Amino acid sequence: MVYSAGVPSPSPITSQNRSGVPPTNLALAPVPPEHLTPHDLVTYFRCPREMELRHRQREAWRTGHPLPAIGSVPPEARTRSPLPPPPIGHLLTFQGRLDVFPTDVLIYEDPEEDGLPILFPPERNQTRAFLQRHGHTLVDPSWGLSGRPDLVIRRRDGSLVPVEYKETHLWERFHEVHGRLFDLIQVLAECRLIEVTWGQRPRVGIVYYGDGPGGGEREGWVELAYGDEERAWLEHALLMIRQDRERPPIPSETHCSGCEMNRDHLCPQAAVPFGRHRGDGGDRAGRAQGYFGRA
């Protein structure tokens, strides 16, 4: 039935009809999309099975039920993630401390993240007001996405910029580190969260690299455009993840040696034991343990 202006709308669906009998057909209730985070996108891009196992592990912790079994996939499906890389044609790199101007203001900071660089004096830090009003987590109900950028800066022209700080990647090795695309995926998702939360689309997102908590001696940052192309990629990525019923493992020495699911003995497809990576003399073990120990 089509309703036009002036025609009364039907009564809203309620949990009981006029006779007081609860309706038996609740199939019309919309099913919310599977909840995803920027970190899920990163994990799926690295290894879809890792993301799936992580979700199942959390569900098992929450309900107290054993981890449900997960199906195997043929080896030929385990070569690379089905998710294509994000568009990074509009990428700028800079060396040194992140540029912050006297007219910029900090409007959000993840209060549960330690070791973030202090870029703003107290009089230009307006994060408390936001956190009191909205809480810590930014939520996009329409795309089923939620998460926390490290920082959100409001520039003099009113534009908003998310900043993701990475203290574990040395700037001088930026072009070698495997995490580069992962970091960009994360900041694209944060751009979307800002777009929904403040009703204003960021033009760019920033990944800021240091070599220690709060900054370091070798700093630099990457500025990635958040335009129509990047936004469309993100929407497609969320759809693809939700439609993927297999979520295959993509074993690789690099990823498996630092994978929490491997550490927790949940993945029989791991390429190497946790913390073991050929070529780095076992040094990765200490770094991986240290990293997850801090998480």
Q: Which stretch binds ligand SF4 (CB under 6 A): 15-23, 107-115, 148-156, 256-264?
A: 256-264
255 interacts with ligand SF4 by CB under 6 A: yes
Pick from 176, 201, 171: which is nearest to 98 by CA? Answer: 171
Query: CB-wise, 83 or 259, nearer to ligand SF4?
Result: 259
Question: Binding residues for ligand SF4, how many (CB under 6 A)?
Answer: 15
Q: Distance between terminal CA atoms of the chain?
A: 54
109 interacts with ligand SF4 by CB under 6 A: no
To the nearest whole angstrom, how small is the minimum distance from the Cβ of residue 185 to ligand SF4? 16
DSSP 247: -
Query: CB-wise, 162 or 251, nearer to ligand SF4?
Result: 251
The greatest distance separating any two alpha carbons of the chain, rounded to the nearest whole angstrom, comes to: 76
To the nearest whole angstrom, how small is the minimum distance from the Cβ of residue 53 to ligand SF4? 6
Contacts of ligand SF4 in 10-49 (CB under 6 A) = 47, 49
81 interacts with ligand SF4 by CB under 6 A: no
To the nearest whole angstrom, how small is the minimum distance from the Cβ of residue 123 to ligand SF4? 45
Q: How many helices (H) and strands (E) does the chain have?
A: 8, 8
Query: CB-wise, 70 or 100, nearer to ligand SF4?
Result: 70
The answer to whether the Cα torsion of 244, 247, 253, 255 is positive or negative is positive
Single out the residue of 83, 145, 261, 288 in contact with ligand SF4 (rule: CB under 6 A): 261
Contacts of ligand SF4 in 137-176 (CB under 6 A) = none
Query: CB-wise, 148 or 277, nearer to ligand SF4?
Result: 277
Query: CB-wise, 163 or 270, nearer to ligand SF4?
Result: 270
Contacts of 40 (CB under 8 A, 6+ apart): 51, 54, 55, 241
Query: CB-wise, 37 or 257, nearer to ligand SF4?
Result: 257
Single out the residue of 42, 153, 222, 267 in contact with ligand SF4 (rule: CB under 6 A): 267
| In contact, 187 and 205? CB cutoff 8 Å | yes
DSSP 145: E
What is the per-residue burial (b if ≥16 Cβ within 10 Å, else e) of 267-291?
A: bebbbbebbbbeeeeeebbeebeee
To the nearest whole angstrom, how small is the minimum distance from the Cβ of residue 175 to ligand SF4? 23
Contacts of ligand SF4 in 203-242 (CB under 6 A) = none
Q: How many residues can be counted in the chain?
A: 295
Give the tokens for residue 275.
Answer: 């913390």
What CA–CA distance (Å, rounded) separates 70 from 59? 14
272 interacts with ligand SF4 by CB under 6 A: no
Pick from 159, 180, 142: which is nearest to 42 by CA? Answer: 180
Single out the residue of 208, 259, 275, 288 in contact with ligand SF4 (rule: CB under 6 A): 259
The answer to whether the Cα torsion of 94, 95, 101, 106 is positive or negative is positive
Give the tokens for residue 225.
Answer: 């455009």
To the nearest whole angstrom, how small is the minimum distance from the Cβ of residue 81 to ligand SF4? 10
In the complex, the residues that contact ligand SF4 under the rule CB under 6 A are 47, 49-50, 53, 249-251, 255-256, 259, 261-262, 267, 269-270
